[in-house]
């Protein structure tokens, strides 16, 4: 696709600071890529003198692939995320870091929590402190405060001081473990650039051109990083959209746009307003919702695409009806309209709303994948394998050591670990490798682990990456640890097999890369990086987790107060409400051809039925309560369950519905011998059924007898 006139001007404006405000679907990646291509084609810089910062590894890979397709030498370009860039700088300049070497581990959120828990346990403190310590650390690092600055600002009560002491111990423990958390990668790089003239000058001179994607999502520390790096050449290009700023909860500041224009007063400002993604109807809805925000630079999306299908709206009686409507509509789109499942996404504000949709998708036989839930590399079985690998690179990584010392089970408990600590003043791993384990009966249990570690260290230097990881999984007995016949064990074994496939793919695509490279890549992987368009499944996701993606068909569900916008916004500041509205804007603009908006009169959440009020966003889009159309699901309900089933139009407020018999008893027609399907336990048959309590004893083919309450259990007759 040819560039439009504004895009062409942006591409050719290479010198000096430039800011581009790019509306959703306006081709910003194409512009960014062509700008780099223009720089290379005109010999303005070598590939390794270009820094292109993205917010996902996926986006960085896409930029490089597009440049390769243009026949340009993109391999040496620094196209990467902030964390990847900082990690690369820190490993290269590790000799300037006090207390660290280049093989430092990167701790994710779970590693961070585990470290805090260990410190709390060692200090005889309850885990009640965990949340306060984690929150304090986030505040400390997002604000880029020193420990002394934080203490002066935040420590007033005895509890605050105790929390602060744990925070200090956490920072000391990370250094002892030769480990950094995600925030450290950014903060320590900024500190290095500020305080070390040699390092600062090296990278300022190196990067002739700096390009930052998704600039609206940068936090203060990230902005200061690129500001310093651009301090010499001043060829800094930032592209973003304040209407898509949705990460304030992790420190992102929409004010960075204003800061940039102030710090780089000579900056040229461009707007990209032509949308290439969506139909006119969808774009109209996007404009209509975002114009309710006041803290934004005025711009209006427009498109030359066709009108497209009108936006559909459905209000259901219950959350189960809503799920029925969505999934039955999806089946119709696939069977009658020629769509693939991979064309479709179900988006929600909160992941907690996904259960009903998952049940209905399973019942209809619709393949799906959940995004925004537990990430692959955060699963326990995967973290166990990764802990073995991390220890091979960083022997000081105590968190990894503690994770695997008794996995698989070796009869090693806290007492044995305490004795190991007494053997060495360096690390627990050193104590195992170099300590005299035979002198104590308890320590003799560690001997097999010592032998295993010595063997793995030897093989680490002999085997290629993929072969080595396979060897670790086999030799450590990891798969055998999940040899049970339960569904959980089966899924864990499948996940380990998937991990091995991931390693093989990485090794095949990255010749010469080492275990250190692989671990770094994994540590910095985001949920969106695992999204593959080739898989034919419906994407079930939070809005946050699909930013940067697009789908032919989008369902935005749960459009009620408390759920979208979320409940805290009832008493929120205008700034918080505007961010919720930006999130709605992002959700709408994921759709290319068809958009469906759904809500429910009532929703079963947190153990009870709750009645809902329509989202203010629907009202802003022009849907008044008196105009709402009631769509009933294909499920049959009795008059006893829904007193207003016969009413075709909802003509007043929700008050009439509030008198529905909330405690009406569900009716089931199960009899012994009926074949049934459960979303977790699979297929089985009814052994006994008690209609008074709606409980059934079910014999499942793979899990034996289970006694379940049918009022809550996802059981369907087949």
Residues marked active site are found at 28-29, 213-214, 244, 590
Rounded CA separation 246/576 (Å): 10
Q: In Å, how far are 164, 347, 365, 616 from 570, measured between CA atoms?
A: 32, 22, 38, 11
Rounded CA separation 36/21 (Å): 18
**CB 654, CB 625: distance < 8 Å:** yes
**CB 27, CB 241: distance < 8 Å:** no
Rounded CA separation 54/79 (Å): 7
Rounded CA separation 374/252 (Å): 23
Q: What sign does the CA torsion over 35, 40, 45, 51 have?
A: positive
Cβ partners under 8 Å of residue 581, min gap 6? 289, 290, 292, 293, 565, 617
Closest by CA position to 337, among listed 552, 551, 550: 552
**Tokens (6 digits) for 441:** 């009966």
Number of Cβ atoms within 10 Å of the Cβ of 430:
16
**CB 660, CB 643: distance < 8 Å:** yes
Number of Cβ atoms within 10 Å of the Cβ of 398:
23
**CB 631, CB 346: distance < 8 Å:** no
Cβ partners under 8 Å of residue 176, min gap 6? 396, 398
Pairing of strands 695-700, 682-690: antiparallel
Q: Specify which residues 368 forms β-bridges with.
A: 538
Q: In Å, how far are 143, 151, 162, 496, 621 from 132, measured between CA atoms?
A: 16, 14, 10, 34, 40
Residue 79 CA, distance from chain mean position: 20
Burial class of residue 338 in the structure, from the number of CB atoms within 10 Å of its CB (0-12 exposed, 13-18 middle, 19+ buried): exposed
Identify the helix (H) or strand (E) that includes residue 602: strand 591-605
Number of Cβ atoms within 10 Å of the Cβ of 158:
8
Rounded CA separation 694/708 (Å): 9
Burial class of residue 344 in the structure, from the number of CB atoms within 10 Å of its CB (0-12 exposed, 13-18 middle, 19+ buried): buried
**CB 705, CB 699: distance < 8 Å:** yes
Rounded CA separation 115/128 (Å): 15
Rounded CA separation 239/54 (Å): 10
Rounded CA separation 283/301 (Å): 7
Closest by CA position to 597, among listed 245, 340, 349, 280: 349
End-to-end CA distance of the chain: 50
Cβ partners under 8 Å of residue 182, min gap 6? 83, 106, 107, 108, 109
């Amino acid at each position: 696709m040819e560039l439009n006139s504004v895009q062409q001007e942006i591409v050719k404006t290479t010198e000096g600071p430039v800011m581009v405000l790019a509306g959703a679907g306006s081709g910003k990646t194409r512009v960014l890529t062509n700008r780099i291509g223009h720089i290379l084609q005109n010999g303005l810089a070598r590939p390794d003198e270009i820094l292109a910062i993205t917010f996902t590894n996926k986006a960085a890979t896409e930029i490089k692939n597009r440049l390769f397709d243009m026949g340009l030498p993109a391999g040496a370009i620094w196209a990467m995320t902030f964390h990847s860039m900082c990690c690369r700088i820190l490993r290269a300049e590790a000799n300037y870091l006090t207390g660290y070497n280049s093989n430092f581990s990167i701790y994710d959120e779970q590693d961070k929590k585990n470290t805090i828990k260990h410190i709390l346990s060692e200090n005889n403190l309850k885990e009640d402190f965990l949340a306060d310590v984690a929150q304090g650390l986030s505040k400390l690092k997002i604000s880029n405060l020193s420990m002394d600055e934080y203490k002066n600002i935040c420590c007033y009560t005895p509890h605050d001081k105790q929390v602060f002491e744990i925070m200090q111990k956490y920072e000391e423990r990370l250094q002892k473990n030769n480990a950094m958390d995600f925030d450290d990668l950014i903060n320590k790089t900024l500190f290095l650039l500020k305080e070390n003239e040699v390092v600062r000058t090296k990278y300022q001179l190196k990067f002739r051109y700096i390009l930052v994607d998704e600039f609206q999502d940068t936090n203060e520390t990230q902005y200061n990083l690129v500001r310093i790096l651009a301090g010499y050449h001043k060829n800094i290009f930032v592209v973003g959209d304040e209407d898509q700023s949705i990460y304030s909860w992790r420190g992102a500041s929409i004010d960075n746009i204003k800061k940039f224009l102030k710090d780089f007063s000579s900056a040229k400002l461009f707007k990209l307003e032509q949308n290439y993604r969506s139909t006119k109807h969808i774009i109209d809805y996007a404009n209509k919702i975002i114009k309710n925000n006041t803290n934004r630079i005025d711009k209006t999306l427009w498109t030359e695409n066709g009108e497209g299908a009108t936006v559909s709206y459905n209000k259901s009686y219950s959350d189960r009806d809503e799920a029925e409507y969505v999934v039955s509509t999806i089946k119709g789109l696939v069977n009658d309209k020629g769509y693939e499942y991979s064309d479709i996404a179900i988006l929600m504000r909160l992941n907690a709303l996904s259960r009903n949709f998952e049940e209905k998708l399973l019942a209809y036989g619709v393949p799906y994948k959940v995004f925004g839930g537990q990430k692959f590399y955060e699963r326990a079985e995967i973290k166990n394998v990764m802990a073995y690998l991390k220890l091979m690179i960083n022997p000081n990584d105590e968190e990894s050591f503690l994770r695997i010392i008794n996995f698989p089970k070796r009869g090693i408990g806290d007492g044995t670990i305490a004795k190991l600590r007494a053997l060495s003043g360096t690390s627990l791993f050193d104590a195992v490798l170099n300590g005299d384990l035979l002198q104590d009966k308890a320590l003799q249990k560690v001997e097999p682990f010592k032998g295993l570690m010595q063997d793995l260290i030897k093989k680490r230097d002999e085997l290629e990456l993929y072969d080595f990881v396979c060897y670790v999984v086999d030799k450590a007995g990891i798969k055998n640890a999940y040899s049970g016949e339960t569904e959980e064990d089966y899924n864990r074994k499948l996940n380990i097999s998937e991990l091995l496939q991931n390693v093989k793919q990485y090794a095949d695509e990255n010749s010469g890369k080492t275990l250190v490279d692989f671990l770094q890549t994994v540590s910095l992987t985001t949920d969106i990086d695992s999204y593959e368009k080739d898989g034919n499944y419906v994407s079930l996701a939070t809005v946050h987790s699909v930013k940067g993606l697009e789908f032919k068909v989008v369902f935005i569900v749960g459009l009620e107060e408390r759920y979208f916008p979320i409940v805290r916004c009832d008493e929120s500041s205008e700034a918080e409400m505007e961010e919720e509205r930006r999130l709605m804007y992002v959700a709408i603009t994921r759709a290319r051809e068809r958009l469906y908006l759904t809500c429910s009169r009532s929703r079963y959440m947190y153990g009870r039925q709750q009645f809902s009020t329509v989202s203010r966003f629907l009202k802003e889009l022009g849907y008044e309560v008196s105009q709402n159309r009631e769509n009933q699901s294909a499920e049959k309900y009795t008059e006893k369950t829904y007193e207003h089933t016969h009413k075709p139009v909802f003509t007043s407020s929700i008050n009439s519905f509030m008198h529905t018999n909330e405690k009406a008893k569900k009716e089931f027609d199960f009899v012994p011998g009926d074949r049934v399907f459960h979303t977790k336990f699979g297929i089985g048959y009814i052994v006994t059924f008690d209609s008074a309590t709606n409980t059934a004893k079910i014999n499942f083919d793979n899990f034996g007898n289970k006694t379940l309450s049918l009022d809550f259990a996802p059981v369907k007759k087949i």
